[in-house]
Amino acid sequence: MIALFYIAAIIAVIATVAVILQTNIVHGLLYLILSLLAVAVIFYVLGAPFAAVLEAIVYAGAIMVLFLFVIMMLNLGQHTRDQERSWLTPRGWIVPSLLAAVLLGQLVNVMSQIDHELIPAQIGVMEVSALLFGPYVLAVELASILLLAGLVAAYHLAKTK
Amino acid sequence: MESIPVEHGLILAAILFSIGLIGVLTRRNIVFVLMSLEIMLNAGGLAFIVGASRWGHAEGQIMFLMILTLAAAEVAVGLGLIIQMFRRYKTVDINVLSEMKG
């Protein structure tokens, strides 16, 4: 189990780096799906099977298919790929990478002071749903309203005049 | 069952978040910017799951579900905006949006 965690973590980091380095959008999207599936494996190892299943269905399934539909609608061809290659100059990477490295250094510095051992205990669907439809039922309702608002906004924004 | 140090999970979330941040700051293609935002949201969700696993509570998973909902709504609106932008400017370059005239 513990080896599975580290293997999935390495795959997730490599696939995520590959996403931001790609020039072809569809390749980037496929790497992102790989990264999300690796994170789903990590969720499973950490004892959250419900979250793992939702990560695979909703993130790697629904949201990525939405991306794919839009990329197909935009119909970006070879021209965009060449343009993309000209945008990705090595100089443009320096400052963002430096800033992110400083942020990462600070986060790692803070987090390495925590030295708790984590013993993955299975928290199944029943515990989660008992809380979800018990004390957190208002949050579920608000989430449904948020999704409805997203649907209406997406319909309105993508509409042709 | 063997144990995993909790900071390793949190550091993985931090690494994924930083990679997403680099993507947002560097890319000029708006589709890649939206994908990097997804990476960052996912890293936040991973941190919540690690917390839930550390304390043995289900609340972290509920926060992850909320993040999932937020990501779905955000992507729907963002992709709608991308379609509208592509229809008007025929490009996915975010630099063409530097002047906001009606």
| HEC letters along A9-56 | HHHHHHHHHHHHHCCCHHHHHHHHHHHHHHHHHHHHHCCCHHHHHHHH
Please state, rounded to an integer, the average pLDDT across all residues of chain A.
Answer: 88
DSSP string, A101-147: HHHHHHHHHHHTT---EE------HHHHHHHHTTTTHHHHHHHHHHH
User: Rounded CA gap, B34 and A77, in Å?
Assistant: 19
For residue A141, pLDDT over 80 is answered with: yes
Q: Considering only CB atoms, which chain B residues are within 8 Å of A111?
A: 7, 10-11, 14
pLDDT tens, position by position, A33-49 = 999 999 999 999 988 89
| B46 neighbors B54 (Cβ within 8 angstroms) | no
Nearest CA in chain B to A137: B62
Residue boundaries of the structural domains of chain A: 1-89, 124-161
User: Rounded CA gap, A80 and B87, in Å?
Assistant: 15
At residue B101, the pLDDT reads 66
Under an 8 A CB cutoff, do A155 and B80 touch? yes
* Candidates A20, A58, A108; nearest CB to B27: A20
* Candidates B56, B74, B80; nearest CB to A121: B56
Nearest CA in chain A to B57: A123
The topology under which CATH files domain A1-89 is Four Helix Bundle (Hemerythrin (Met), subunit A) (1.20.120)
At residue A120, the pLDDT reads 75
Q: Give backbone dihedrals phi and psi of A75, rounded to 5 degrees, phi first.
A: 55, 55
For residue B94, pLDDT over 60 is answered with: yes
| A63 neighbors A26 (Cβ within 8 angstroms) | no
CA distance B24 to chain A (A): 9
ipTM metric: 0.91
What is the rounded average pLDDT of the residues A146-157? 93
| A160 neighbors B87 (Cβ within 8 angstroms) | yes
Which residue type is seen at A123? I
Orientation angle between helical segments A64-74 and A25-45, nearest 10 degrees: 180
What is the rounded average pLDDT of the residues A87-107? 89
Query: Confidence band (pLDDT; 50, 70, 90) for A52?
Result: very high
Query: Confidence band (pLDDT; 50, 70, 90) for B1?
Result: low
* Candidates A20, A54, A154; nearest CB to B68: A54
* Candidates B35, B53, B75; nearest CB to A118: B53
* Candidates A13, A121, A123; nearest CB to B15: A13
Query: Confidence band (pLDDT; 50, 70, 90) for B102?
Result: low
Query: Confidence band (pLDDT; 50, 70, 90) for A83?
Result: confident
Under an 8 A CB cutoff, do A92 and B75 touch? no
| Probe site for chain A from B26, B30, B92 (most A CB atoms < 10 A) | B26
Query: Confidence band (pLDDT; 50, 70, 90) for A98?
Result: very high
| B84 neighbors A158 (Cβ within 8 angstroms) | yes
pLDDT tens, position by position, B13-68 = 999 999 999 999 998 888 999 999 999 999 999 999 998 888 888 888 999 999 99
Nearest CA in chain B to A77: B91
At residue A158, the pLDDT reads 84
Task: Using alpha carbons only, give the angle A59, A63, A66 rounded to the nearest 5 degrees.
Answer: 160
Burial letters for A83-92: b for 16+ Cβ neighbours within 10 Å, e otherwise?
bbeebbeeee
Alpha-carbon Rg for chain A in angstroms:
20
Which domains can be identified in chain B, with CATH numbers?
Answer: 6-90 (1.10.287.3510)
Determine contact: B55 vs chain A, CB below 8 A.
Answer: no
Determine contact: B94 vs chain A, CB below 8 A.
Answer: no
What number of other Cβ atoms are within 10 A of residue A29's Cβ? 20
| B10 neighbors B25 (Cβ within 8 angstroms) | no
Compare A90 and A140 and report the one with higher pLDDT: A140
